[in-house]
Amino acid sequence: MVPSEGVLICRRCGKRLEMKRSESLVSRTEQRGRTMTVIEDSEGAGLPTTKYKCPECGNDTAYWWLRQLRSADESEVRFFRCTKCNFTWREYD
């Protein structure tokens, strides 16, 4: 789910959820038998970090994670989020 103007929007199905500010960094929602996990805060919530230059602010540390977005025979997509400005970008192989 992606935050946009006070709501969270699923890129796949378009479902919209109102963003709530709370003590919790992670929320889980069940939909169609699947559990979706959303990081709601600017903190990394335990994500690993790596030395990688942010294209927006030039900071040299970023959180990273992998997602299989395409078919199973294609490589995973690497996502990065700057630890300073929270800019998020992706890399493909």
Q: List, by residue number, the catalytic residues.
A: 73-74
Does the annotation place 35 within a ligand binding site? Answer: no
**DSSP-assigned letter for residue 2:** E
Is residue 57 part of an annotated ligand binding site?
Answer: yes
- The answer to whether the annotation marks 8 as part of a ligand binding site is no
Give the tokens for residue 67: 């997602």
88 is in an annotated binding site: no
CA distance 60 to 48: 14
Cβ(64)–Cβ(53) below 8 Å: no
Q: Is 13 annotated as a binding residue?
A: yes
Q: Distance from CA of residue 56 to its chain's centroid?
A: 17
81 annotated binding-site participant: no
Integer Cα distance of 41 and 27 in angstroms: 10
Pick out the residues of the known binding site. 10, 13, 54, 57, 82, 85
Pick out the residues of the known binding site for Zn(2+). 10, 13, 54, 57, 82, 85
